[in-house]
Chain A
Amino acid sequence: MIRITPSKLLKIVFGVGLFVILCIGGFTYKHIQELSESTEEVNDTQTLRTELEHMVYNLKEAEVGHRGFLLTHDSLFLKPYHESRLKIDQNLKRLDTLIVKDKAQRENLNQLEQDIVKRFIIFNKSLNIATDDEILTKDILLLLHEGKIKMSRIRNDISVMLELENKLLHEQQKKNEEAIGITPLFLYSILILTLLLLLLAYAKINKDLMVLKKTNKDLKIFKTLTEQAEIVSKSGTWMWKIKDNTYHFSDNLYKLLGTEPQSFEPNLESIFKYVHEDDAEDLRQEISNMIKNEDLPFVTFRIVQPNGATKHLKAHAKLIDIGFEEKQLLGVAVDVTDEFDSFNLIQERNQELERNNKELSDFNYVASHDLQEPLRKIQTFISRLETNDGEQISEKGQFYISKIKSSSARMRMLIEDLLQYSRTNNADKDYVNTNINMLLEHAKHELSDSIESKGAIITNDNLPNLEVVAFQIQQLFINLISNSLKYSKEGIAPVINISHQEVRTNTVKDIEKSLFKYHHKISFKDNGIGFEQVYAKNIFELFNRLHGKTEYSGTGIGLAICKKIVENHNGVIVAEAEPNIGTTITIYLPFLK
């Protein structure tokens, strides 16, 4: 369907209205023309009638003159006779011009003319005879008689003509009456039609006006919203009408430049007054490309506000030629200073982090190599001293040596655990689908000496395959099992049970914040010395110990490593314990079903 736009409809209505009014004018003119024509015809008929009457009168004059002469032979009487003869000719001529159209009337006129000619022939004959004899002869009487007959014939002709004329007049009048009767009705109906059309157009235009009003209102609202949005988003808009090369800047664009809205002529040169001098050349290049290509990709540049503040702007524009009569480039400029600053800040932080990481790895190297070396020497020299000169040293001296030995052993343990802890930090996270049972076996193998010496019994459920960093999980198992072995009750063989089950995340409080739907729950339950439940959270913190160094040989790093490994795998580790009953360490590792 073809959509008729309001302006098109207006044109149509105007066209139709104009046409109708022209039609009315035309019809009216034609009718008046017809009326005046018929009036003329009535006049003509009237003239014709008068002319005919004149002719009868003139004929009678001629007859009177003729008779007078016949009686007196006085030529005085001949004068009016001749005059009326001339007059009759004139009458005939006039009649001839009057009767141009009507064929029947013309035939009548011809008949009349012939009859008149014949009458005058008789007149002339009798006049000739009368001049000769000067008396009334039989011939003259005959001629007079004949003349009378001719005269009555002429009268008849005239009456026929008059009758015809009357008939014509009557018809004409009837026609006129009809025409005059129709004319007002016709004019009136056309007027009504025009009025109707006008009303329709008015209604339509009114409706469109309402729509226009609403659209206008919406546009006003939208404009206000856009202005608000510009203020909130620190952006401004601009338009470039390509054809007449004029610009329009939004109020907020002026504000972005640090000036009052519409305080200067919107054009490119005035913008460049604010552009940072280092960015001006690049921007000019971009703008000249924009003018050439009628497009502006994203550009960023700095501006200097009148108060001296430097801001970063990002601009972009797009050519719009649909819906507008001329092509326009619509653009947006955004103040990205904050983003820029925070980006710089992030970059600075990143560099700082990189530096820190580098320092950390340097520290790792120092710890693993340079710190261990002197320690190793101390231990080796002590072992030399012990084996070579053990007997010569006093008992006190031997006690000191044993203290040096245990201290250096402890230091070695600390260094090694710390290294382990930092390594779990930055290990390559190489997640591989691994049989966890195998990792548990490796862990048990690693600890086989102390398992044997303590006579520990370790039982476990069948464990699943998981996507893990294998060496970390193995380390986790080693740490958990060695903890159970270390904190076992004296004189009682440690019993460690490792159980597994799949749980729905929303059924367990400890993992309710997890985004995963399912978790593997793996618990390490022992019959060791346990601890007060209040410490359940603390034990996973670095260097946090619940026991004196001499009682148990922990460094306070083992469980912190465990926590880190579990967290590397998006899991959760929790502890549950009761003094003298035992400890259960549970790890939850998420998986997708």
Chain B
Amino acid sequence: MKIALADDDEDDRFFFTEAFDELKVKSKVSTFKDGIELMHYLEQAENELPDLLFLDLNMPKKSGISCLQDIKANSRLKDLVIAIYSTSSSEEDVEHTFVLGANIYIKKPNDFEKLKKVLSEVVTTNWQYITSGLNKDNFLLRL
């Protein structure tokens, strides 16, 4: 399974890859340190697209929201499964990303075990099936 993460925070990228290492899910994790780098990668036609993209919202140069808008406007990318991965879970951000077409909203947990639990939950979800029944109530992931 190909997984991508765009997050400017080095520590978070470290937690993220470690969590996947420990999860023992067969996965290939690639990380990007900002929105520009991510979009640059995605827009190259020869590059493989990830099965699941985790997007931090607050990033320098290009924010997660901006990336989300660009992806949804791109016919090749618009079907990507996107999980918002952010520190805040403010009403505005949740509402906004839902409207823009993200699949799920994850608030970064403050416990490593919890992080592992959340990621395994998201990875094992059959998104092809869920997409059709998206609703606002279960958009914000609660565990």
Please tell me if the beta carbons of B110 and A369 are within 8 angstroms of each other in the complex: no
Q: Which of A388-405 contact B (CB under 8 A)?
A: none
Q: Which of A359-393 contact B (CB under 8 A)?
A: 368-369, 372-373, 375-377, 379-380, 383-384, 387
Q: List 19 A-B contacts (CB under 8 A).
A: A368-B88, A369-B87, A369-B88, A372-B88, A373-B9, A376-B87, A376-B108, A376-B109, A376-B110, A377-B11, A379-B111, A380-B109, A380-B110, A380-B112, A383-B110, A383-B112, A384-B112, A387-B112, A387-B113
- A375 partner residues in chain B, CB cutoff 8 A: 110
Mark B68-88 against chain A: 1 for CB-CB distance below 8 A, else 0: 000000000000000000011
A118 touches B (CB below 8 Å): no
Output the nearest chain B residue to A471 by Cβ-Cβ distance: B91
Please tell me if the beta carbons of B15 and A380 are within 8 angstroms of each other in the complex: yes
- B113 partner residues in chain A, CB cutoff 8 A: 383, 387
B40 to chain A, nearest CB (A): 26
A197 to chain B, nearest CB (A): 96
A444 touches B (CB below 8 Å): no
B90 touches A (CB below 8 Å): yes
Please tell me if the beta carbons of A380 and B88 are within 8 angstroms of each other in the complex: no
- B63 partner residues in chain A, CB cutoff 8 A: none
Given contacts A369-B58, A369-B87, A376-B87, 12 further A-B contacts (CB under 8 A): A368-B90, A369-B88, A373-B9, A373-B87, A379-B110, A380-B110, A380-B111, A380-B115, A383-B111, A384-B112, A387-B112, A412-B110
Q: Per DSSP, are chain B's interface residues mostly helix, strand or loop, or mixed? A: loop
- B87 partner residues in chain A, CB cutoff 8 A: 368-369, 372-373, 376
Mark A72-113 against chain B: 1 for CB-CB distance below 8 A, else 0: 000000000000000000000000000000000000000000
Output the nearest chain B residue to A384 by Cβ-Cβ distance: B112
Output the nearest chain A residue to B12 by Cβ-Cβ distance: A377
Count: A-B pairs, CB below 8 Å: 32
Range for the number of chain B residues in contact with chain A: 10 to 19
- A372 partner residues in chain B, CB cutoff 8 A: 87-88
A411 to chain B, nearest CB (A): 11
A212 to chain B, nearest CB (A): 78
A375 to B111, CA, bound (A): 11
A186 to B84, CA, bound (A): 125
A299 to B64, CA, bound (A): 54
In this complex, the member of B15, B110, B111 whose beta carbon has the largest number of chain A beta carbons within 10 angstroms is B110
Q: Which A residues fall within an 8 A CB radius of B?
A: 368-369, 372-373, 375-377, 379-380, 383-384, 387, 412
Mark B1-45 against chain A: 1 for CB-CB distance below 8 A, else 0: 000000001010001000000000000000000000000000000
A373 to B109, CA, bound (A): 10
A377 to B109, CA, bound (A): 9
Output the nearest chain A residue to B86 by Cβ-Cβ distance: A369
B3 to chain A, nearest CB (A): 19
- B111 partner residues in chain A, CB cutoff 8 A: 379-380, 383
Output the nearest chain A residue to B58 by Cβ-Cβ distance: A369
In this complex, the member of B58, B88, B113, B115 whose beta carbon has the largest number of chain A beta carbons within 10 angstroms is B88
Mark B111-123 against chain A: 1 for CB-CB distance below 8 A, else 0: 1110100000000
In this complex, the member of A368, A375, A412 whose beta carbon has the largest number of chain B beta carbons within 10 angstroms is A368
A387 to B19, CA, bound (A): 13
A369 to B12, CA, bound (A): 14
A377 to B115, CA, bound (A): 12
- A369 partner residues in chain B, CB cutoff 8 A: 58, 87-88
Minimum-distance CB pairs A-B, first 9: A379-B110, A376-B110, A383-B112, A383-B111, A384-B112, A368-B88, A369-B88, A373-B87, A380-B112
A412 to B111, CA, bound (A): 13
- A412 partner residues in chain B, CB cutoff 8 A: 110
B29 to chain A, nearest CB (A): 17
A310 to chain B, nearest CB (A): 48
A379 to B87, CA, bound (A): 13
- B11 partner residues in chain A, CB cutoff 8 A: 377
B141 to chain A, nearest CB (A): 16
A368 to B93, CA, bound (A): 12
Output the nearest chain A residue to B9 by Cβ-Cβ distance: A373
Output the nearest chain A residue to B114 by Cβ-Cβ distance: A383
- B112 partner residues in chain A, CB cutoff 8 A: 380, 383-384, 387
A116 to B115, CA, bound (A): 178
A372 to B111, CA, bound (A): 13
Output the nearest chain A residue to B18 by Cβ-Cβ distance: A384
B24 to chain A, nearest CB (A): 16
B136 to chain A, nearest CB (A): 14
Output the nearest chain B residue to A412 by Cβ-Cβ distance: B110
Output the nearest chain A residue to B111 by Cβ-Cβ distance: A383
A384 to B14, CA, bound (A): 12
Mark B90-107 against chain A: 1 for CB-CB distance below 8 A, else 0: 100000000000000000
- A376 partner residues in chain B, CB cutoff 8 A: 87, 108-110
B62 to chain A, nearest CB (A): 17
A143 to chain B, nearest CB (A): 169
B92 to chain A, nearest CB (A): 11
A507 to B95, CA, bound (A): 45
A372 to B15, CA, bound (A): 16
Output the nearest chain B residue to A408 by Cβ-Cβ distance: B110
Output the nearest chain A residue to B89 by Cβ-Cβ distance: A368
- B9 partner residues in chain A, CB cutoff 8 A: 373
A368 to B108, CA, bound (A): 13
A1 to B58, CA, bound (A): 88
